[in-house]
Amino acid sequence: MRSNMKKLFVLFAVTLNIVIGIVIASVFFLSNFPGRDRVFAEAASHTLLTADEIDFASKLQNIYNKVANLNLPAVVNISIEVVVQQQGGYFDPFGDDDIFEFFFGPRRRAPQQQKEKKQVTPAGSGFIISEDGYLISNHHVVKQANKIFVKLHNSEKEYTAEIVGTDPDLDIALLKIKEKEKFPFVKLGDSDNLNIGDIVVAIGNPFGLKSTFTTGVVSAKGRKELGINKYENYIQSDVAINPGNSGGALINVFGEVVGVNTAIISPSGGNIGIGFSIPINMVKSIIDDLKKDGKVARGYLGVGIQEVTPDIAKSFGIKAEGVLIPQVFKDSPAEKAGIKPGDIIIEYDGKFVKDTYNLRNMVAETKPGSKVNIKVLREGKEVTVTAEITKQETGSLAQATTEQVAKGAFLGVHASDITESAKRQYRLSASEGVLITGLDENSPLNDKGIQAGDVIVHMNNSKIRNLNDFLKFARENEKNKNFRLFIQRGEMVWIIAINID
């Protein structure tokens, strides 16, 4: 035994001497290495910050901390109780034993009955906007709720909430916590002041993980045509938004809520850095309606709207901006204000009009009964009219339709008068205009989406009531190369511009 211990001690001593020798040699080598100071200096320069940089980083970190501390207490986790249908079973004393069927034949089974089961599931997020417990979330978060439960940051106490009002078209719900307490609440900012590149943070409950704080920047503004909601003007950001973040707050570096996190684009269902938030200004414009009536009263102007394409802009001799008005509805606020077909709206209530979505949202957000100034381009001149906006009764600021029929050689259009038989054949609603029955192969209208049954109701500044008006216009404009055709299909009217080189 002692012999073995002695051998181990000798082995340990030899190993220790070798290690000590290596260390001494390394120190000697490094102390005489010509680039030693430069290497150590470079390493230090990569790991140390200057005093100014440390101060800046500390201030930035403090900003994030303050934003979190200000808003986390007012962002809630929302769970909902839903009623699900279940197939009811039945009791069989023989179970699945075949002995019953052996003696008595196949069993007659009683029909299974539907049973209702209530279950509570995490649904999303919300944020409190007033001390008395009003809170904002998405409509889709609570639309199936039988009951609504909310929990605050760092608390397991469960509160109950009720729906005060919803706006499915914008995907917003206004809720109210039933318990009587003084609640922490957020400050609502001005989403119009956001710029691309601005730092934003999101607070919500992704996958049920309470009070999650993520950061990013504004990637784009005014996102539309996503097919998510009827009224779209989304803020796009790269903050991490996942299932469960819906209804949560998008916040600027000043600690103000500037958006309601609503949707993501993702092939997997998880965050890939493309998230969409409803601008808080759109939400603020409907809160009073939701409190008072439980629904939103939107503004109505009463016009058909169309983008100003490059071809249309060229035919008018203007820039491709604003919104073209191909149709003004009878007895509408627009007609009473003096807006005419062919006008181009460039300004609404003092704000520049970018496109049809922009105008549609601005009109919808206008309180019924409000008077607004509308600036239009008419025959190259700016004209300002005042319209008293009324309440929208059917779905949008205007619907448009078109039906046309034509016979003749002008522009390769075959047109005819609108007869009773033509009305039945093409199911026309128009009584005036010329019916398009076909197009020549070389017609400049072939790539404009025209079809048999469309109706020409206006050409340039001339109203077309019948085939005679159409042929008269053709004679008077043989040398003209630029045309604007007002086309009606059903109840919709739109404008086509043609430039013949």
Amino acid at 123: A
Residues 387, 431 share a domain: no
Same domain, yes or no, for 266 and 193?
yes
What average pLDDT does this structure show over 53-72? Answer: 90
pLDDT at 37 over 80: no
Judgement on whether residues 343 and 436 belong to the same structural domain of the protein:
no
Boundary (domain end) residue, out of 267, 293, 319? 293
- Model confidence pLDDT, tens digit, residues 383-409: 999 999 998 874 434 333 222 333 345
Q: In this model, does residue 178 exceed pLDDT 90?
A: yes
> Among 434, 377, 371, which residue's Cα sits nearest to residue 406?
434
**256 and 209 co-located in one domain:** yes
Q: Are 277 and 305 in the same domain?
A: no
What are the angstrom distances between the C-alpha of 358 and each of 170, 195, 260, 341? Answer: 14, 17, 19, 19
CA distance 363 to 355: 12
Counted domains in the chain: 3
The answer to the question of residue 87 being in a domain is no
For residue 306, being part of any structural domain is answered with yes
pLDDT bin (cut points 50, 70, 90) of residue 449 is confident
- Bridge partners of 455? 435, 488
Is the Cβ–Cβ distance between 186 and 257 less than 8 Å?
Answer: yes
Tokens of 368: 């019924």
Identity (one letter) of the amino acid at 284?
K
- Name the residue type at position 447: D
Asked if residue 242 is part of any domain, the answer here is: yes
Whether residue 129 lies inside any domain: the answer is: no
Q: Are 112 and 90 in contact (CB under 8 A)?
A: yes
Is 329 part of any domain?
yes
Stretch 421-435: mean pLDDT: 80
- Verify that 198 and 279 share a domain, yes or no: yes
Of the residues 245, 262, 293, which one is the last residue of a structural domain? Answer: 293
For the chain, give the number of residues: 501
Q: Residue 501 pLDDT > 80, yes or no?
A: no
Domain that holds residue 306: 299-391
pLDDT-based confidence at residue 111 (cuts at 50, 70, 90)? low
Q: Is residue 128 part of a domain?
A: no
Both 346 and 288 in one domain: the answer is no
Evaluate if pTM is beyond 0.85: no
DSSP state of 402: B
Token pair of 60, please? Answer: 């930035």
DSSP string, 239-287: S---TT-TT-EEEETTSEEEEEEEEE--SSSS-SS-EEEEEHHHHHHHH
Q: Tokens representing 264?
A: 């993501």
Kindly report, residue by residue over 364-378, the tens digit of the pLDDT. 889 999 999 999 999
Q: Which residue, chain included where needed, has tokens 């998405």? A: 138
Q: What's the maximum distance between 2 C-alpha atoms anywhere in the chain?
A: 127
Answer yes or no: do 192 and 270 share one domain.
Answer: yes
Q: Give the residue with greater pLDDT, 216 vs 9.
A: 216
Is 420 found in the same domain as 476? yes
DSSP of 415-482, one letter per residue? EEE--HHHHHHHT---SSSEEEEEE-TT-TTTTTT--TT-EEEEETTEE--SHHHHHHHHHHTTT--E
Does one domain contain both 287 and 312?
A: no
Mind listing the pLDDT tens digit for each residue in 313-345? 887 788 888 898 887 888 889 999 999 988 999
Pull the structure tokens for residue 406. 């034509």
Q: Are 192 and 235 in contact (CB under 8 A)?
A: no
Place of tokens 């605050």: 152
**C-beta of residue 191 within 8 angstroms of C-beta of residue 280:** yes
- Helix, coil or strand: residue 491: coil
CATH number of 233's domain? 2.40.10.10
Q: What's the mean pLDDT when you consider all of the chain?
A: 81
Are 205 and 77 spatial neighbours (Cβ–Cβ below 8 Å)? yes
Based on the fold, state whether residues 203 and 235 are members of the same structural domain. yes
Contact (Cβ atoms closer than 8 angstroms) between residue 132 and residue 251 = no
Q: Which residues, 6 or more positions from 62, have their beta carbon under 8 angstroms from its beta carbon? A: none
Among residues 362, 391, 420, which one ends one of the domains? 391
Contacts of 86 (CB under 8 A, 6+ apart): 114, 115, 116, 117
CATH code where residue 332 lies = 2.30.42.10
User: Which residues are marked as active site?
Assistant: 140, 171, 246
Q: What tens digit of pLDDT does each residue of 64-101 get?
A: 999 999 999 999 999 998 877 665 554 444 444 454 45
198 vs 476: CA distance, rounded Å: 57
Query: Beta-carbon neighbour count of residue 441 at 10 Å?
Result: 6
pLDDT of res. 282: 93
> Whole-angstrom Cα distance, residue 356 to residue 367?
19
In-domain check, residue 289: yes
Q: Do 211 and 281 fall within a single domain?
A: yes
Comparing C-alpha atoms, which of 221, 152, 158 is closest to residue 191? 221
Strands (E), 72-133: 75-87, 114-128
Query: What is the Cα Rg of the chain in Å?
Result: 35
Q: How confident is the model at residue 114 (pLDDT cuts 50, 70, 90)?
A: low
Which pLDDT does position 407 carry in this prediction? 38
Does a structural domain hold residue 225?
yes
Query: What pLDDT does residue 252 have?
Result: 96
- Residues sharing a CB contact under 8 Å with residue 48, sequence separation 6 or more, in sequence order: none
Could you report the per-residue pLDDT of 117-140, keeping only the tens digit for each? 778 888 899 999 999 999 999 999
Confidence band (pLDDT; 50, 70, 90) for 23?
Answer: very low
| C-alpha distance from residue 283 to each of 90, 138, 166, 232 (Å) | 51, 11, 11, 12
